[in-house]
Structure 1
Amino acid sequence: MSQDNRQSEPSRPEIEITPTEDLMREHGILKRLLLIYEDAEKRLRGYKPLHPHIVYPVILQTGTIARNFIENYHQKLEENYIFTRFLQEQSHVDLVRVLQEQHTAATKLTTLILQAAGQGDLYMQGRNYIAHLLSLYKQMYEPHEAREDTVLFPAFREMVTPEEFQSLGEKFEEIEENMFGKNGFQTILKQVEQLEKALDIYELSQYTPHFTK
């Protein structure tokens, strides 16, 4: 093919991310934060080496990402653009109210986690308290995000028009860029990866079960 012909070819359009896909990939970030909390909890309870000079900073940084990316950004998208639509349509009202209550609980838990981890208590009572907070966050958010992914988001997709759906996707991308800069999702992802590496839980293969013959 000649250079002239290559130049005349139309450029490939940028792939747009739908609003529910955007929210679900953000749930992927949340899942990885929960894995970090799970590993930190094991260390605080004595099931793995503690290494407090590593674990407490990791908890603080994870809590900060949870506060900035999940609670102040992701949850607000759901509340302002998804939950409100269901309440207006009087659809899945009970589910939305529970999800909203859990958003409030998550914010309170993160405040407590940041306060407790900031003190860096090495005594067993203090360690167990932080471990309990991490467990509560994980215990609540695993079913929370699963219910949104399997019930609320599919129902929302059926509720809005294709034009509304596309417009909302563009709105989400605009908000993300304003809050976290261009490629904000990738920036947050890299931060999470560094925390995983600090706890030595980054390599996916470690989660693969091995069977004896």
Structure 2
Amino acid sequence: MNDSAGPAGADRRQFITQSGLLLGAAVVGSSLSLLGCADNAGQTAGAAAQEPGKAGGEKEGGEDVSANEDLMREHGLLKRVLIMYDTMADRVTGGQELDRDVAAQSAGIIREFVEDYHERIEEQHLFARFLKAGKMTELVNTLQVQHDRGRILTSRMLLALKAPRLSKADQQQVVADMRQFYRMYTPHEAREDTELYPALHQLVSRHEYDSMGEEFEKIEHQKFGQGGFELYLSKVTDLEKKLGTWDLNQYTPII
């Protein structure tokens, strides 16, 4: 017997058709719902990735600076002062008089920004962590000794340069101290940049690392106000121009 014949068969076909349409609508609705959830999740993740201050300390103007980047650019400032030390020492050795004003201001920047700020951060926030964890202790101890010796050299230079009169012997001592400072800090900062700073990632969590960058910025603002690094960079640039070490082209070899 044919079930589709007659009114009963028509009712059955109508039921099957309506059921199929309802099922199809349900499947499509579920798919759209899943796509909507995925899209919302993607937008949320994207917004989180773009949210400022998540990858380190947040600088003025929304610029994010990590702990290592903060320390390494301060090394760049130190290196520029070291170049001035080296230049002044060479000129005195060549028979010229020492530029006492540039020498005194350069040593003052080393004392204020490098020794009393940058190195204190390294000692309190990096060296202490490595020593507590028992990691890279030989390197850290050597770096600490060099910080201490550098402060002795800077104090000696500042004392001589602030005197009313600088004798030839005093000038030669200042030059000798500049050369020792340069000789020690060139490999010193290179070891920190290539060994100590990279190892920090294995020593602390990502969250702690990010917090360190924010803490460094907070300390800088408390000590120098807004834009402390920029302030000292400007001072270094002015001294470079006065001494004649600012123009980068002069260091390019003629081949």
Deviations 1:17-61 (A, max 9, x none): 1111100000001000101111111122225x43x5xx1011110
Whole-Å separation in 2 of the counterparts to 1:141 and 1:183: 25
**2:200 match:** 156
Deviations 1:134-169 (A, max 9, x none): 000001101100000000000012211110011110
User: Structure 2: which 5+ residue stretches go unaligned?
Assistant: 1-46, 53-61
Query: Is residue 235 of structure 2 the alignment partner of residue 210 of structure 1?
Result: no
Residue 112 in 1 paired to residue 159 in 2?
Answer: no
Query: Rg: which structure is higher?
Result: 2
Distance in 1, matches of 2:240 and 2:223, equals 24
Aligned to 1:139: 183
1:69 maps onto 2:113 in alignment: yes
**Structure 1 residue runs of 4 or more that deviate by more than 3 Å after TM superposition:** 10-13
Once residues 109 and 16 of structure 1 are traced to their aligned partners in structure 2, the CA distance between those partners, rounded to angstroms, is: 35
Residue aligning to 2:245: 201
- Identity over the aligned pairs, expressed in percent? 39
Q: Does 1:121 align with 2:152?
A: no
- Match for residue 57 of structure 2? none
| Distance (Å, rounded) in 1 between the aligned partners of 2:155 and 2:227 | 27
Task: Write out per-residue CA displacement over residues 56-106 of structure 1, whole angstroms, 9 at most, x where no aligned residue.
Answer: 011110111100100000000000000000001100001100000001011
CA distance in 2, matches of 1:122, 1:38: 20
How far apart, CA to CA, are the structure 1 residues paired with 2:171 and 2:252?
29
| Bigger RCO (CA 8 Å, 6+ sep) | 1
The CA deviation at 1:178 is 0.9
| Matches for 1:178-197 after TM superposition, within 5 Å | 178-197=222-241
Considering only aligned residues, what root-mean-square deviation do their CA atoms show, in Å?
1.6
Ranges in structure 1 where 5+ consecutive residues have no aligned partner:
1-9
Kindly provide the amino acid, as one letter, of the partner of residue 166 in structure 2.
Answer: D
1:37-116 equivalent positions in 2, closer than 5 A: 37-46=85-94, 49-50=96-97, 52=98, 55-116=99-160
Judge conservation of contact 1:121–1:127 (CA < 8 Å) in 2. Answer: yes
Size of the aligned set, in residue pairs, is: 197
Question: Secondary structure at the residue paired with 1:202?
Answer: coil
TM-score by length of 2: 0.74
Mapped contact 1:67–1:110 kept (Cα < 8 A):
yes
Q: 1:127, CA displacement in angstroms?
A: 2.3
- Separation (CA, whole Å) in 2 of partners of 1:174 and 1:116: 34
Separation in 1, partners of 2:112, 2:105:
11
Once the two structures are TM-superposed, the CA of residue 117 in structure 1 deviates from its matched residue by: 2.0
1:115 positional shift: 1.2
TM-score by length of structure 1 reads: 0.88
Q: How many angstroms does 1:122 deviate by? A: 4.6
